Structure 1
Amino acid sequence: MLSFLRIENIALINSIEAEFGPGLNLLTGETGSGKSIIVDSLAALTGERVSTDLIKEGERSARIEGVFSINGTREVRQIFEEAGVELESGSEAEIVIRRDLSLAGKNRVFVNDQLVAAAFLKKIGPLLVDIHGQGDQASLFEPSSQLAMLDHFAQTGSLRENAAVCYAEWRSVCEELKTLKSDEAEKLQLVDILRFQVDEIRRADLRSGESDELEDEKRRLNNIEKLSLLSSQAFSLLYEMDGSAVSTLGQAVDRIRQLGEYDDRFKDYFEGLDAATAVLEDVSITLRNYQNNLEFSPERLEAIESRLAEIARVTRKYGGTVETAIEHHARSEARLSNIETAELREKELNTELARRRKSYLDAAAALNEKRRAAAGRFVKQIETNFKDVALEKARFEVRIDNGDDESRFGPDGSDRVEFFFTANPGESPKPMAKVASGGEASRLMLILKSVSNQQNGSKTSVFDEIDAGIGGRVAEAVGMKLKRLAAAQQVLCVTHQAQVASKADHHFVVEKSMGKRSTSITIRQLDDAERIEEIARMLAGEKITDAARENAREMIASAGKR
């Protein structure tokens, strides 16, 4: 329940305060006096966006503050606990919401003097206040709004949440599959190319350093005669001919050993000379074996040239070197593996998609079952209320169309809900958008909201000119309906109808005063005498007659007896 409202520096308002009570709180006043500004300010406390344009001209900041009391609202308490915002313990608690606006853009929200995010206010605001503005009748004709009303009545909250989760999971798998399947022809072409490249490089059996080895061998084969001559000459000079290097070195070593017997200085060279002799002998043996094994092979030379040509052909296609070709092979294999893995992933996703689809359909079916079970009770209560607003002969239907076509899937299930209505006996109900007049739409809105919200008696319902377009007997009926609704929950209503105003438990008048340099808006609660005068004004206009005052007294007295 809204117990207190303060507005500072909003539009034409300097500063106003109002204390509201339980039951029916009525706001009246001349057209343009600022009643809707008060409703818009209250909407700001429920999380609605507020433009800095609302700040009063000449001021740098503005403030809207409301005090609410809740009674056993578990959902509100849970939101406070999750956000870490303090809330009084016990069955009843007070919530103070404040919005500070600034031309500098520093717009802040406080709940119980604790700074909170605007998202927090959007969560708790609608649980405290339900506002029906002057343009809300149009939303009454939207199937999405009608679905929300039925769900609110049926209390499908947990089922809707489950359906939304299942829908999101199903959509996620759908999107991943869509990505995998995109450009399927291009992907198949890429697979063919990659497989060809991988096979070609694998068949080439490339090895780092092989080209250098083959070039060396090719060079030897092309110079076989020169190599034979050089190795023969070297062997002869080192070992074979008279006075060969090995023989000459051996003689020199023998002489130096003899010198060492007489002079120790030469002994230091013995080890090095022995090593030199061993090296010459080893080289000589190598040269002899090398010469003996030299053989020219045209077949081997042809094979080398063929292999070098193959290596050159493959490396030209894949980077210019054996190393880059080997790297390309590794990358292509990895890409091919990824694509083949993607194909496997696609199979897995198709299986997952079927599972997620079934989960969603099960959730949607549970939601559909609950809606259908509630629809009959909803219709019965709506039609029971028709006589309260002078629609005694009207008929009302809720039609629920369900299907498993994926085009119907959504976070709220796969149902299409639409309300059908007729005010005339003998006529079949038709979609409300096609048959409800302005006055009928207002009354339907009142009934639908009162029935769908009946589970939450701690919420404040706000109606901004719900009685627009009606008068006389119908206005009287709407006033009594608001009165009965206010017996179960707090109602705040802006009205221009005297019949409605006469039913108030708390009557406020909003007035606009125009000075020479400024205009201001005020609000005040009326006492009994002031109520009579205000309702008489609503009946008679500017010139209030005694007859109008007497009529006002009778209307107030009559409302009090009912």
Structure 2
Amino acid sequence: MLTLLKIRNIALIDELSVEFGSGLNLLTGETGSGKSIIVDSLAALTGTRVSSDLIKEGESTAQIEGLFSIGVTDRLAAVFEECGIDIDADENELIVRRELSQAGKNRVFVNNQLVTQGVLKQIGAFLVDIHGQGEQASLYDVSSHVAMLDEFAGNAKLLSDVADSYEAWASIRSELASLKKDESEKLQLLDILRFQVDEIKRVSPQSGEDDLLEEEKRRLNNIEKLSSLSEDTYKLLYDNDDSTTSTLERAARKLAELAEFDSAFNEYDEGLRSAQAVIEELAITTRDFRSKLEFSPERLNEIEDRLAELTRLKRKYGESIEAILEHLNSSEQRLQNIETAEFREEELKRELAARSAKYVDAAQKLHDSRVAAGKRFSTAVEIDLKDVALDKAKFEVRVETDQMTFTETGFDRVEFYFSANPGESPKPLAKVASGGEASRLMLILKTVARSNEAQKSAVFDEIDIGIGGRVAEAVGRKLKNLSANQQVLCVTHQPQIASLADRHFVVDKDMIGKSTNVSIRELTSVEQVEEIARMLAGEQITEAARENARTMLAGR
């Protein structure tokens, strides 16, 4: 139940705070007074999209906040858990706040926890149900009929089972369809893949091979320089009287003589001998390296040809040998998949049959529930239509089945049939319901369909369009009965409905200087008489209108 609504800097509203109560809360006011702004603000708390254009001109930010009295049901608790919202099961209040900014930084809070608009939409579905002025048009949309019936039947679990079964069936069907592509296309792909695999395997590239070949190529192209460098290095290290080896040998002898006089030099002897060994080893390595140097034009040609082959593969299949090998593995896997497609196709056909049977089973259970619920729904609607001056109306729910057509919501086509007059057989709703009948029928359908959701607040925005007099009074009585079990907020222009309010609010649009501001206030009993008299008589309120208003209020 909505207990408090606060609005700041929205459209023509500077700041507004209003407390609602249980029962029937009625909002009245002149046409264009701003009642729709309040309804739109309330809709924003259920997760509808909100544009920064709603922010009052001249302001940079705006805020809408609602305080709801709730009972945390298992379903609502599951939504809180799924959305990561911490809430105590014993809590009975929920604060929802939307903050808007001209800079586009719009934020949503639930109990001061920042959430997304999608999360708010999930939670909002448990808080408020808004029926707007143009919603009668949805009656003529046959696709909306099945949703109403499923809501009445409580088919959420069955719908989930059908949707899961459909998804499983559709995935197999899609895979099977891809296998059944045009045969020539499949053969063409086979030829391409086989050519690519053969081409790569013929060259047989090895990981790191190109780097080794490039290094060898550089050696062959610089054979003379390498020979000269290695010869000079060998001579410097070993092959002359002034070589490093000879110098170190002379130094070792001198060091030994020094050690005879000072034993401290003995500890350097091992290091010097080690240096001699390293130098001798390096000298031998450079000598052997030079002896093996041999320029081979044939080998250079082989290397260049091999590198050219690898470069050609890189241009076609990747920038590195690793990428080429990865392409090879991928192509071989695709080849295997295509070549074994016939076996896979038979396997998929068997799987599709099994999943089809599972879908049909789930959809049949949903169908059975809809058929049974349709009878109860029809009876309940016909009974309630009597409450809104449609005593002779007939209402039917027809559930037709096409088991060859699978959808996420089953294989049923649900359509409502209606007749307002005795002697006329029910016909498709879109063909027979007038504007006034549609308003009343929408009220009944919505109230019957959601009869098990007393915790939600029901908001009716000018659902009384196209009716008046006795019919308006009947609609008002229906709203009054509905409000006995759940909170109802209703925007109305009908005095017959307004007179039944448990709490009556009037919405005014005032000029303050050059600025227009929308306000709302709860009426006292005296003010309520004046407001209903205005609704009856117009601007010139007569004493007769006031007396009529008092009579209407006394009879509620």
TM-score tier, shorter chain, comes to 0.7 to 0.9
Change (3 A) 1:50 1:201: closer
SS at match of 1:127: coil
SS at match of 1:556: helix
Query: Which residue does the alignment assign to 2:551?
Result: 554
Query: Which residue does the alignment assign to 2:112?
Result: 113
Tell me which structure has the larger Cα radius of gyration: 1
SS at match of 2:422: coil
The Cα shift of 1:200 comes to 13
Query: Which residue does the alignment assign to 1:499?
Result: 496
Query: Which residue does the alignment assign to 1:296?
Result: none
Distance in 2 (alpha carbons) for counterparts of 1:335 and 1:55: 57
The Cα shift of 1:343 comes to 3.2
2:442 is the alignment partner of 1:445: yes
- After superposition, where does 1:119-130 map in structure 2 within 5 Å? 119-130=118-129
Q: Residue by residue, what CA displacement relative to the aligned partner does 1:15-57 show, whole Å, maximum 9, x if unpaired?
A: 1111000000000000000001100000000000001100000
Q: Any conservation in 2 of the 1:88–1:94 contact (CA below 8 Å)?
A: no
2:481 is the alignment partner of 1:484: yes
Distance in 1 (alpha carbons) for counterparts of 2:156 and 2:164: 12
Change (3 A) 1:176 1:544: same
SS at match of 1:484: helix
The Cα shift of 1:191 comes to 4.2
- The number of residues matched between the two structures is 440
Change (3 A) 1:369 1:329: closer
Structure 2: which amino acid aligns with 1:156? N
Query: Which residue does the alignment assign to 1:509?
Result: 506
Query: Which residue does the alignment assign to 1:252?
Result: none
2:40 is the alignment partner of 1:40: yes
- After superposition, where does 1:335-374 map in structure 2 within 5 Å? 336-374=335-373
Q: Any conservation in 2 of the 1:396–1:422 contact (CA below 8 Å)?
A: yes
Q: Any conservation in 2 of the 1:45–1:97 contact (CA below 8 Å)?
A: yes
1:431 to 418, 428, 433: 428
Structure 2: which amino acid aligns with 1:510? V
Distance in 2 (alpha carbons) for counterparts of 1:69 and 1:48: 21
The Cα shift of 1:80 comes to 1.1
The Cα shift of 1:344 comes to 2.8
SS at match of 1:21: coil
Distance in 2 (alpha carbons) for counterparts of 1:177 and 1:143: 33
Distance in 1 (alpha carbons) for counterparts of 2:71 and 2:334: 63
Query: Which residue does the alignment assign to 1:534?
Result: 531
Unaligned runs of 5+ in 2: 206-308, 314-320
Query: Which residue does the alignment assign to 2:135?
Result: 136
SS at match of 1:552: helix
Distance in 2 (alpha carbons) for counterparts of 1:411 and 1:479: 38
Q: Any conservation in 1 of the 2:371–2:399 contact (CA below 8 Å)?
A: yes
1:416 to 399, 413, 417: 413
Structure 1: which amino acid aligns with 2:52? T
Structure 2: which amino acid aligns with 1:4? L
Q: What is the TM-score with the length of structure 2 in the denominator?
A: 0.75
The Cα shift of 1:331 comes to 8.9
Change (3 A) 1:186 1:481: same
Query: Which residue does the alignment assign to 1:56?
Result: 56
Distance in 2 (alpha carbons) for counterparts of 1:133 and 1:510: 18
Q: Any conservation in 2 of the 1:87–1:94 contact (CA below 8 Å)?
A: no
Structure 2: which amino acid aligns with 1:52? S
The Cα shift of 1:346 comes to 2.5
Q: Any conservation in 1 of the 2:70–2:92 contact (CA below 8 Å)?
A: yes
Q: Any conservation in 2 of the 1:9–1:62 contact (CA below 8 Å)?
A: yes
Q: Residue by residue, what CA displacement relative to the aligned partner does 1:541-562 show, whole Å, maximum 9, x if unpaired?
A: 0000000000001101101xxx
Distance in 1 (alpha carbons) for counterparts of 2:83 and 2:362: 29
Q: Any conservation in 2 of the 1:73–1:458 contact (CA below 8 Å)?
A: no
SS at match of 2:133: coil
The Cα shift of 1:145 comes to 1.4
Structure 2: which amino acid aligns with 1:78? A
Distance in 2 (alpha carbons) for counterparts of 1:430 and 1:463: 27
Change (3 A) 1:557 1:177: same
2:84 is the alignment partner of 1:87: no
SS at match of 1:104: coil
Change (3 A) 1:43 1:332: closer
Change (3 A) 1:334 1:62: closer
Change (3 A) 1:80 1:196: closer
Query: Which residue does the alignment assign to 2:102?
Result: 103
Distance in 2 (alpha carbons) for counterparts of 1:183 and 1:158: 40
Q: Any conservation in 1 of the 2:72–2:89 contact (CA below 8 Å)?
A: no
Q: Residue by residue, what CA displacement relative to the aligned partner does 1:175-200 show, whole Å, maximum 9, x if unpaired?
A: 22222322332213554787799999
Q: Residue by residue, what CA displacement relative to the aligned partner does 1:134-167 show, whole Å, maximum 9, x if unpaired?
A: 1111012212211111111100011111111111
The Cα shift of 1:334 comes to 5.7
Distance in 1 (alpha carbons) for counterparts of 2:418 and 2:10: 41
Change (3 A) 1:58 1:358: same
Change (3 A) 1:37 1:333: closer
The Cα shift of 1:345 comes to 2.6
- After superposition, where does 1:19-418 map in structure 2 within 5 Å? 19-90=19-90, 93-191=92-190, 336-406=335-405, 409-418=406-415
Q: Residue by residue, what CA displacement relative to the aligned partner does 1:467-513 show, whole Å, maximum 9, x if unpaired?
A: 01100000010000100011111100000000000000010000001
SS at match of 1:99: strand
Distance in 1 (alpha carbons) for counterparts of 2:519 and 2:358: 56
Distance in 1 (alpha carbons) for counterparts of 2:203 and 2:436: 88
SS at match of 1:416: strand
SS at match of 1:462: strand
RMSD: 2.6
Structure 1: which amino acid aligns with 2:384? N
Q: Any conservation in 1 of the 2:382–2:395 contact (CA below 8 Å)?
A: yes
Q: Residue by residue, what CA displacement relative to the aligned partner does 1:83-126 show, whole Å, maximum 9, x if unpaired?
A: 23122323x61110000000111110000111111111110101
Structure 1: which amino acid aligns with 2:515? S
The Cα shift of 1:338 comes to 3.0
Q: Any conservation in 2 of the 1:14–1:520 contact (CA below 8 Å)?
A: yes
Distance in 2 (alpha carbons) for counterparts of 1:153 and 1:329: 58
Distance in 1 (alpha carbons) for counterparts of 2:53 and 2:198: 71
Change (3 A) 1:187 1:508: same
Identity %: 62
The Cα shift of 1:516 comes to 3.7
Change (3 A) 1:514 1:350: same
Q: Any conservation in 2 of the 1:46–1:128 contact (CA below 8 Å)?
A: yes
Q: What is the TM-score with the length of structure 1 in the denominator?
A: 0.74
Distance in 2 (alpha carbons) for counterparts of 1:111 and 1:100: 12
